[in-house]
Amino acid sequence: MRDQTKERRARTSPISGRPSLRGARIWTAALLMVGCVAMAHASKDAQLPDWVLQAATDAPLKADWRDAKAVYLLEDTLITVQPDGRPVERYRAVVRILRPQGRDEAHPVTWFTKDEKLESFHVWSIGPDGHHYAMKDSEYIESGDVGAGEGILYGDIRMKVASPPGADPGGVVAWEYVKQLSPYFAEDTWGFQNRVPTVRSVYEIDLPGGWHEEAVWARHARVETAEITPGHFRWEQANIDGIDLADVPLAPDWEALAGRMTVHFSADPLPEGDALWSKIGNWYYTLAAPRSEGGGDVASTARTLAGDGDFMAKLAKVADFMQQQIRYVGIEIGIGGWQPHPAQDIFRSRYGDCKDKATLTVAMLDAVGIRGAWVSVDDRRGVIDPNAPSLFGNHMIAAIEIPKGYENPRLQAVVTTKSGRRYLIFDPTNPYVPVGQLPDYEQGSYGVLAAGDDSQLIQLPILNPDAESIERKAKFELAADGTLKGDVTVLRYGALSDGMRGRLAMDSDKEQRELVERLLQHDFSTFTLGDEKVAHVRELDKPLEMDYSVTAPLYAKGAGSLLLVRPRVVGSDAEGLDEKPRKVPISFTGVGTWRDDFDVKIPAGYTVDDVPDPVSMDVGFATYHSEVKAEGGALHYKREYVLKKLELEPGEYAKLRKLEAAITTDENSDAVLKKQ
């Protein structure tokens, strides 16, 4: 999967997603600058373009931006669509560095591919002392294999970067590039919002005579289109605040918040709204469908695998094959960033990326009489905006049509389209979420169903919190010297087991043990892990089970004649929040239910003198109930936390904070034992 930086964000990314590796996908422009000494051709006489000088001498910045580390003084994009429909982009940027850490924002960069030819790239800068610099072509660094992410064996994206002289606080860095854009997309996106503020952003598109444009807006009110000359359209915005999510807990993805405009262009009249979504879905369908025509091997293997069971039984067999046998490997060249490889090739080599896996899924299901289709999604919830039809997205999954009248409790991730057809949404790239369910990072998102005449925008379901749960059960015995000893069982159900299954599947026995030790480190200062066992890592129809025994000396703390014991012995459900005013929505990883049930047998000669108060909270989007009881010479701790919503408005942050404070307090509370 290829991911974003400012410039890439404004383009349509290839689809090669591997959501389980989300954290690993970072464009490394900044890293590439390390060790790259600016080799600038520097001259006091360097001629800077007027637009650079003009932007650099514009009016003072907004007072609100005094803490900004850098600011875009200007972003200016001009798209010229050639008569053959091929767009050419000219992009200009001027950045002023305000603080030392603002240097990171002033790295000129552009990307190009086999089909996106870079025609020119120029970089200029003005040092804080006023020196003007112009860099030479030979001073830029070109790099491939960037941002490709783990699993992408080959991608044809390359980038050019520069480390300009004078890039210090007070300095200005400017760059311009011209490049041909992909010939196969009839849309372009203007990402006018940055992580730092932007003084002025301009976007223009120049179309051949008689062509049509349709501008749609995401996360921003529509700005009126100005037709400067016939077929030449212009939009401009000023004083755009930056969005910095660096220290914001539970923040949505940056891309889900930043304003953008997508402009569609065509020689033919353009549809609007749902019809435009449908057009997009159809475009992808015509691209992918021919690749799903599997040959004899694909069909015969599918039929052998599926056997004679009912819909669910056949589907489960094919899904298991896709999840376990087809390795994730991405090879993306040109349109191959979007178009899958032929199903036969994927099957033969037993590898492919997300769109390849979706395609082979469709092909194999087709061989056993089940109709499948593609769903283009983005694993960052909220990035695809239903109000802004576009090709935006970074991942491909499958939609499997459910026969009319067929019911099965395993079918949970079900969507009904406008035509009345029911589809099970399935992600064959994720090897750890069983068919019937959906990874949490896809739940609640929008996606484009590419299913021929049924192509449309759909919203992916949010599963019932009961379907995704973690249960911890334990029995402990406490000694008078404070040593706690006991056995713990942790069961993870549904999509909530995804991450842990993924880690454990990769771990050796030793690494699994070390993982448990690291988990227990949060609960005990000193401990010895006894036997530990993990079961059903790859048996997705069973809960992931982790059993272990632990001995924790000094667990209970002595205080005179008292022993202080924390009844919530292992595991934490608390979330760290801040007390800053909340400006952005709250985004949870997933819904779910967490239950703990612990018994702690108290040592002979001690009685329970005091226990924490019970907690019972219902804040609408979540409930939390916890209680400690002293019965039969033991402490019994039970709690249940149910999170029902994936996203909250910023206004609900206070409520969430109160809930989290209660959970934190409950988790840290002690019971008091007294010596008789």
Partner 1 sequence: MGLTYRRFFLFLTVFACLPAFGAANWRQPTADELKMTSDPKAPDAPAVYLNRDEYMDVKGHYDRIYARIKILTEKGRLQFSDVEIPYRAGVLNVRALEGRTIHSDGTIIPFTGQAYSKELVKAGGVRVMARVFSMPDVQVGSILEYQFELQYDDMWIFFPEWTLQERVFVHEAHYHFIPYPMDLNSSNLLMVPDPQGRLTPATRLQYDAQLPPGARFQDLPSGTDLVMNDVAAIPDEPYSPPLSSFSYRLFYYYTGNFSAQDFWKGAGKSWSQKVDRFATQPDVIGRAVAGIVAPGDTDDQKLKKIYEAVMTVDNTAFSREHSEAENKAEGLQVKTAADIWAQKRGTPNEIARLFLAMTRAAGLKASAMIVTERDERVLNANYLHWEQLTDEIAIVTVEGKEMYFDPGERYCDYGKLHWKHTQVLGIRQTDNGTEAVLTPAADYKDSVVERKATLQLGPDGKLQGTITLSMTGVEALRWRQVALRNDEEETKKRIGEELQTLVPDGARVKTTGLTGLTDESQPLVATLEVSGSMGTATGKRILLPGSFFETNVRPLFPEDRRENPVDLHYPYAVRDQVKIALAPGLTVDSLPTNAQIPFPKNADYIAKYGGSGSVYQQARLMALGKTVYSKDEYPELRDFLQKASAQDQQQVVLDRAPVSASAAGGSGTNQ
Residues 421-450 that bind partner 1 (CB under 8 A): none
Query: Measured from the CB of residue 6, what is the shortest distance to partner 1 in angstroms?
Result: 21
Closest CA to 467 of 414, 516, 519, 428: 414
Closest by Cα among 516, 549, 547, 521 to 534 = 547
- By CB under 8 A, residue 224 contacts partner 1: no
CB of 412 to partner 1, least distance (A): 26
Q: For partner 1, which residue of 168, 471, 545, 627 counts as binding (CB under 8 A)?
A: 168
Q: Which two tokens stand for residue 163?
A: 């480390």
Q: Which is nearer to partner 1, 90 or 638 (CB)?
A: 638
Interface with partner 1 by CB under 8 A: which range of 96-104, 192-200, 265-273, 445-453? 96-104
Asked if 471 contacts 573 with a C-beta cutoff of 8 angstroms, the reply is no
Closest by CA position to 561, among listed 627, 500, 594, 605 = 605
Q: Does 668 bind partner 1 (CB under 8 A)?
A: yes
- In angstroms, the CA 109 to CA 160 distance is 6
By CB under 8 A, residue 553 contacts partner 1: yes
Q: Is 470 helix (H, G, I), strand (E, B) or coil?
A: strand
In angstroms, what is the minimal distance from the CB of 251 to partner 1? 16
528 scored as a contact of partner 1 (CB under 8 A) = yes
Total residues binding partner 1 (CB under 8 A)? 92
Task: Determine, following the binding rule CB under 8 A, whether residue 558 of this chain makes contact with partner 1.
Answer: yes
As beta bridge partners, residue 485 has 477, 551
Query: Of 39 and 267, which has the nearer Cβ to partner 1?
Result: 39
**In the chain, what's the furthest Cα-to-Cα distance?**
95
Q: How long is the chain? A: 676
SS3 assignment, position 665? helix
Q: Which is nearer to partner 1, 450 or 556 (CB)?
A: 556
Tell the smallest beta-carbon distance from residue 142 to partner 1 (Å).
Answer: 4
582 in helix, strand or coil?
coil
The least CB distance from residue 562 to partner 1, in Å, is 6
- Taken in order 148, 153, 158, 164, the sign of the CA dihedral is positive
**Does residue 554 interact with partner 1 by CB under 8 A?**
yes
- Single out the residue of 138, 229, 419, 676 in contact with partner 1 (rule: CB under 8 A): 138
What is the nearest approach in angstroms of partner 1 to the Cβ of residue 231? 38
Helix (H) or strand (E) holding 598: strand 592-601
Bridge-partner residues for 634, per DSSP? 601, 631
Name the segment binding partner 1 (CB under 8 A); options: 128-136, 269-277, 279-287, 460-468. 128-136
* Residue 39 near partner 1 by CB under 8 A: yes
Does residue 297 contact residue 347 with C-beta atoms inside 8 Å?
A: yes
Contact call for residue 133 and partner 1 (CB under 8 A): yes
- Least separation in angstroms between CB 16 and partner 1: 14
Q: Is 560 in the site for partner 1 (CB under 8 A)?
A: yes
Q: Which of residues 504-523 bind partner 1 (CB under 8 A)?
A: 505-511, 514, 517-518, 520-522
- Enumerate the β-bridge partners of residue 594: 470, 641
267 binds partner 1 (CB under 8 A): no
Q: Which of 610, 633, 649, 650 binds partner 1 (CB under 8 A)?
A: 610
95 by DSSP, 3-state: which? strand
Binding part of the chain for partner 1, among 303-311, 322-330, 372-380, 416-424 by CB under 8 A, reads 322-330
| Contact status: 62 vs partner 1 (CB under 8 A) | no
Residue among 327, 418, 533, 583 that touches partner 1 (CB under 8 A): 327
Q: Which of 672, 572, 569 is nearest to 630 (CA)?
A: 672
Return the range that interacts with partner 1 (CB under 8 A); candidates 70-78, 97-105, 453-461, 641-649: 97-105
Q: Contacts with partner 1 in 334-363 (CB under 8 A)?
A: 348-351
Radius of gyration of the chain (CA): 28
DSSP letters of 410-446?
Answer: T--SEEE-TTS-EEEEE-TT-TTS-BTB--TTTTT-E
Q: Which of 154, 212, 313, 453 binds partner 1 (CB under 8 A)?
A: 154
Long-range CB contacts (within 8 A, 24+) of 138-144? 139/38, 139/39, 139/40, 139/41, 141/32, 141/36, 143/32
Residue (67 or 224) nearer to partner 1, CB: 67
